Every structure is written in structure tokens, then in C-alpha cells.
Amino acid sequence: MMMDKLREGAQGKVAKGILGLIILSFALAGVGSYVNSPAKNAVASVNDNEISPQTLENAYRNERARLEAQMGDAFNQLADNPEYIKQLRRSVLDRLIDQALLDAKAHDLGLRIGDEQIKQAITSMPEFQQNGKFDNDRYLQLIRRAGMTPEMFRDSIRQDMIRQQLMGALLGTEFVLSGEASSLDKLYQQSRDVRLVRLPAESYLDQVQVSDEEIKQFYAANQPRFMNDEQVRVDYLLLDAADLAKDIQVTDQDVRDYYDQHQEQFQRNERRRVAHILIPLGKDEKAAEKKAEDDLAALNGGADFAELAKRDSSDTFSAKKGGELDWFEKGVMDPAFEKAAFALAKEGELSGVVKSQFGYHIIKLLGVEPAAVRPFDEVQADTRERLQKDKAREHYFAVQQKLADASFENPDSLDAAAKAVGLKVISSDYFSQATAPAPLNDAKVLSAAFSEMLREENTNSDVIEIGDGKALVLHVMDHKPKAVKVLDEVRELIVTDIKRSKASEVARSKGQELLGKLKSGAEVNQELSALNLKLEEHKGLTRFAQELDQSLVAQIFRMPHPAKQPSVELLTQSNGDQVIVALDKVSQPEKPSQMAELIKGQMGQSKAQADYKAFVDSLRKAAKIEYFAAQEAAVE
């Protein structure tokens, strides 16, 4: 979420639209770690730079959280499918690989982001603001909660902005000609006049019969359709950290003792507040420097700093306040600016003329907050929460180890392990890999539940981590192999399918007879009456018409334009119904509609997506990429 604000600076509408789809930044997930810190048991490597399991896990959890927020219950249904989760995890890993390739390419091209740009990006993030202003304490608190230092966060921001710079340059160059968009818009706005005759298959069901021999033949020819999935029934013990945490108590004395013993964790760095006057470099750098020197001389002669800042400073935001900036600590400002600001000793002291990449500064020290330990009252609530989580985590892992030992030492059932850790054995009904209930619908759990070795040895599984502070041990109690259902079980389904197919053929035969007459332009009212059919007319039918099934509309708009006679076709629907369509007229607007600009933007995005895919594909072809499936499957 934080990085979305940075993307607003990308140049060009197309670039803005596409960047949101193709660059998912994980600033607080430690994305940069896989380039410079090779991990053990890597899930993949890019040109020998490893992507760690932790990097993938953080990115995967962020993506799951995004999808859950976006899709709600629909995502939870999808997440019940182990194959979907496997594909989701692989898509996140592929995205991390693409990011690594983009970062390497940006480095080769020498792309850079200045410190002032990073500062502006950070201070503009709403997450770090209070009452519409950047709050340095809130900034430090949030990034520390994420386990990052200001330097680490700054570097992560820099990496993401460089990636945006590269993609903005690539995607922002695409354009669409007005004629292209106009032509497509006219096709979208096209309308058609049609006449329809529907021949529902169900109307002819009573005219068809199904023999026992046909049923047998259909059953023999379509046995893969009538398979029972492999099923198992298991007992399991579920260990939930959230349940264990309810018994964890943290006293006021615990919090105070931790605070007293870990003072270094509550250290607040020295902060300074300054005012400045900024003279931009412009086209004549010497003139800018002279202007700054003149202002400094005026200040030394007694001129009012605030008035001079309002008059001369190009930093218009601070100039309105007499040049005043908010409190900041080291690691936020431009290096040259920061060095000069922290060199000032007394409030009211002026710096010399300081050059940065943005121009010449004159800095006035307004206040100093020395490094100090944050007061206990200020950190008490956060410290209590941290201790609660730490103690709960320690207790969870201790119980988990006890569960692992007990289930290993007593492998033929879960009773002893349940008694050792105070859990209740839960028994499942029969389930397949596609119908496994939570929490058994995890890929690693399913792998164990359908393991031939566990069945043959009649032993407990290992402790299986299933994420979100949960783990389980299971024992397979029974197994039903994959097998073809008996004929009697599926007879009614087979009869229905055969009768529907035969009725559709009868309807098609009737339709073929009418088709020839319609093509010749002959009247068919008498034939329609005899068959108890009706002629429907739809004038001005558009591609987005709601009165007809969308699949039928799509078929109608694929029909050729009529010439001297109507264009007539017999169309088969997915349910076996037959529809005779006579296309009488095609109308197309002469002028583009209001949708033309939207279409132009969509075409630009499509081209940009194609460019991005081609670019990444070329980087992938030139790179050495390795996937380590075993380690990838172990990621939560």
C-alpha cells in the first residue's frame, strides 16, 4: 500500500495504468534482500543471486492479504483448492524473479534516484502523517515494527523507484493512433437487425428413446467422466497459537523489566528543526550561487530570515512558513544539506551557502532534540504487545516440539500425543484432494494424507506447519482408491445426456429444413405454425444487449454482413438448442462515440502490457534462472 503513492509520479497515463498491474512492491517484506543476501535453501536463483524462502513467504502473504481484501469470500473458496494456491505461490515467485531481472537491468543502465526524491516520497506517504503533516516519530515507529532501519527502508524505496523509472521509460513510449481507436469504437458501437427462430432440444425429448445397448456403449466410451476421486479419512491434532496465547499473561512488572533491560531498543535519535532558503541552480549556476551569497550577507547584516525565505526561496511549501521544515533525524535529508544542518551548534546559527543537487541553501538552526530514551509511558502498550507475542510464540514452539516427540514415539495412533499436549483428536469424514475441509486443504497436509507410505506403515505424519500459527499431525484411518463408478450409479445421468444429444439432433434436422427456405427468402410462417415455433425480431441489437444470451450475441456478431439476401445460419447452443438466425441489416455509426478515448487508453495499456511481457521475456531468455521446487513447496 505504501508504494502505491510512489507510483503516482510515473510519467504518462499508460505508464500509470500498467505500473499498478505489473509492479507489486513489497517494501516492508524485504524484497531487496534476495539480491545482496544469498539465503540458505533458496526457492529460486536469478543469475546465481538467490531468492530466499522468507522473501517468497512475505511476498506470498502480502499477495494473499491483497486478494482477500479485494475478493472477500470468493477468494476463500478459491483458496480451498490446493492447486490454485500452488499456482498463486508460483505466480508470486515469478514476479519476484521478474523484479530481480528489472533491478539488474536498471543497474546496468545506470539508473539512479536522488536522496531528495526519496525524502519527498517518504514524507508524502499518508501512513507517516499526522494531521496532514509528516510525523517523524510515527515514521520510525512503523518501520521499526516492520523490522527495518531508516537506511533499510530508504534503500527499499530507492530500489522500487528505480524500477518504476525503468518501466516508466519503457511503457510511457507507447501510443495509439486516433484512427485505430476510432475504427475499434465503430465496431463496438455496431448494431444488427436480426430475426430468430428457436428450436429447444427439450421440445423433442419425447421423440427419442435410449436403449440399454446405447447406455452401455456410452458408459464404456466415457468412463473417465464417471470416476470416483481417491478419498481418505483421517484423525488429526490441530495446534493453534491463537488458542495457546489466551493463557499467556504479561504483568506490568514484566513490561517494566523489559524496558529497563533493553533501553537501546527505545532510543530516539537526535532530531533537528531548521529553516532554509533555497535558490535553484537554474541555467546560470554562478548567478544562483551569487544570489545565495547576497542573501547570506543580508542575513548577517540583520535581515529577517523569514521574510527573505518568503521572497526568495524556491521551496514554496516551506517559504510560506518562513522557510521552516519539520523535525528530522539523520538519514532523511540530502547528504550535503544534512551535514550542514547537523554541524550547526546553537539555535539561530546560520550555515554558509550549501550546495545540493537542488540548488544553493542557507540553513538556520531552530531547535535540537538530543538523542534520548523514549519515556516508558510512550512505549508501554507496544512493549506489552511485543512481549505477549514473544511469549506466545515461545510457548507455541515448545508445545509443537512436545507434539512432534510424542507423535514420533507413539506412531500407531494419536491418542498418546493428544494426551501429552492436552489436545482432542479430531476425526474427518472421507474427502478427496478437491473436497478437503479446512484445515486439511493445505497442500502439505494433502500430500501427507494421500501418502502411500503413511498408509502402508500405519504411522503418524510429521508435524505440518500450515501457516497463521497453526500446525497439525495426522493419521490416515482409511483409504478409498480412485475407481469407476458402477453403471447403476450413473445410469440416469447417461440417459439424460444421450436423450439431450438425440433431441438436439432432431432439432437441428428441423432447423435445416427451415434454413433453406429462409435463405431463399421464402415465407415460413406456415411451417413455423406447424412446428409450434415463433419468429422473434430484434432491431438495433448491440454487442452488449441483455435480452439475449451473451454467447448467442457473440455468434450473431461473427456472422457475415448480408448482401442482397439476409445472412442466415443455424447456430448450436451449449445446451443443445438450435437457433436459426437471419441477419437482415448491419448499422455502424459514422462518428466515434464517447467511448473512443476509453478504448484508446485500453489499447495503449494492451500495447504496454505486450511491451512489458516482451521485455521481461527477453531478460528471462538471457538470464540463468533456476527453480527449487522442494523449497518452494515448503513456503507457507
- The CA–CA distances, whole Å, from 305 to 273, 344, 365 equal 15, 16, 11
C-alpha 218, offset from chain centre: 45
Residue 589 has pLDDT above 70, yes or no: yes
CA distance 276 to 40: 48
**For residues 610-627, average pLDDT:** 88
Residue 101, amino acid:
L
pLDDT tens digits, one per residue of 532-566: 899 899 999 998 888 899 999 999 999 999 988 88
The total of other beta-carbon atoms located within 10 Å of residue 294's CB is 12
What pLDDT, on the 0 to 100 scale, is given for residue 553?
Answer: 93
pLDDT tens digits, one per residue of 153-199: 888 888 888 888 887 777 766 777 777 777 888 888 899 999 999 99
Residue 104, amino acid:
A
What pLDDT, on the 0 to 100 scale, is given for residue 635?
Answer: 64
What pLDDT, on the 0 to 100 scale, is given for residue 361?
Answer: 95
Torsion of CA 387, 392, 395, 399, to 10 degrees: -170
Please give the residue that has the higher pLDDT: either 542 or 601: 542
What pLDDT, on the 0 to 100 scale, is given for residue 215?
Answer: 95
* DSSP conformational letter for 486: P
* DSSP conformational letter for 461: P
CA gyration radius, the chain: 35
Give the rounded percent of residues in the chain with a pLDDT score beyond 90. 44
- Beta bridge mates, 49: 46
Please give the residue that has the higher pLDDT: either 611 or 96: 96
* H-state helical runs in 521-594: 525-530, 550-556
611 and 170 in contact (C-beta within 8 Å)? yes
pLDDT tens digits, one per residue of 102-133: 888 888 888 888 888 888 888 888 888 877 78
Cell of 47: 543469475
Please give the residue that has the higher pLDDT: either 632 or 361: 361
Q: Closest by alpha carbon to 196, among 439, 536, 532?
A: 536
**For residues 41-58, average pLDDT:** 87
pLDDT band with cut points at 50, 70 and 90 for residue 36: very low
pLDDT band with cut points at 50, 70 and 90 for residue 39: very low
What pLDDT, on the 0 to 100 scale, is given for residue 125?
Answer: 87
What pLDDT, on the 0 to 100 scale, is given for residue 357?
Answer: 84
Residue 364 has pLDDT above 80, yes or no: yes
pLDDT tens digits, one per residue of 279-315: 998 888 999 999 999 999 999 999 999 999 999 999 8
568 and 580 in contact (C-beta within 8 Å)? yes
Q: Which stretch of DSSP H or E encloses residue 415?
A: helix 415-421
501 and 576 in contact (C-beta within 8 Å)? yes
Residue 40 has pLDDT above 70, yes or no: no
* DSSP conformational letter for 6: H
Residue 447, amino acid:
S
CA distance 324 to 337: 14
Indicate the SS3 state at residue 246: coil
What pLDDT, on the 0 to 100 scale, is given for residue 633?
Answer: 65
CA distance 365 to 351: 8
> pTM, whole model, 2 decimals?
0.46
